[in-house]
Amino acid sequence: MLQGYLPAILEGLRSTLLVSAVSLAIACVFGLVGATAKLSNSRAANVAVDAYTTLIRGLPELVLLLLIFYGGQIMINKLADRAGLGYIDINPFIAGTMTLGFIFGAYLTETFRGAILAIPRGQMEAGLAYGMTRMQVLTRITLPQMVRHAIPGFTNNWLVMIKATALLSIIGLDDMVHRANLASAATRQPFTFYATIAVIYLAVTTVSILGLGWLERRFSLGVRKVEF
């Protein structure tokens, strides 16, 4: 099947999934920091996060990717030069995960902010009144409940992000699209291979939708649905 290219394509899938997972972890960190900063009383933090989310929303992912990949390469090497280090090569994996993490961190900032706002304020105040530290309130009260409210937005962002990883093939990441490019060139059957990876992407998104839907039901076990 597929003239023996299936293992190579699946190898590419591994790379696609790995890059998505690492980007997601980075995006969650950016998103949590962003949401906390946006909800804080510090004016400087609010302005900084607003600038961050506006910047991301105003630019295509591909442009940011190229800017960080090529711009970052030259900046880092200028710094390395000054420090007397040799040539540093940023690989597409690092540039890609950093960029996607940075981009989707901005969207997750909004998701997480909304999720935190959905928790009744009294619960956090009660925690503080019991003498918990802010950190304890965060880890015991806010975060566990926030997950439930954040899952729908989170699902959307994750789906968009998996699809966005396809762009990383443009900066040379050896992902599924890149493997399909190679196989197409070798076999002269481009449609077969692009259709194959399209089906694989569809399978990944379908599994994600089902999995996260299950997770949402788990986290909402104690909550009664509105019945119309």
167 binds other proteins per the rule CB under 8 A: yes
201 binds other proteins per the rule CB under 8 A: yes
Diameter over CA atoms, the chain: 69
Phi-psi region of 42 (alpha: psi -120 to 50; beta: other; left: phi over 0): beta
3-state secondary structure 1-38: CHHHCHHHHHHHHHHHHHHHHHHHHHHHHHHHHHHHHH
57 binds other proteins per the rule CB under 8 A: yes
Residue 36 token pair? 């906390």
177 binds other proteins per the rule CB under 8 A: yes
From candidates 1, 4, 58, 83, binder to other proteins by CB under 8 A? 58
| Residue with smaller CB distance to other proteins, 163 or 216 | 163
If you count them, how many residues does the chain have?
Answer: 228
The terminus-to-terminus CA distance of the chain in angstroms comes to 51
Residue pair 179/12 in contact (Cβ under 8 Å)? The answer is: yes
116 binds other proteins per the rule CB under 8 A: yes
143 binds other proteins per the rule CB under 8 A: no
70 to 109: interface string for other proteins, x by CB under 8 A: xx-xx-----------------------------------
Interaction site with other proteins (CB under 8 A): 39, 41, 57-64, 66-67, 70-71, 73-74, 116-117, 121, 159, 163-167, 169-170, 177, 180-181, 184, 188-192, 194-195, 197-198, 201-202, 205-206
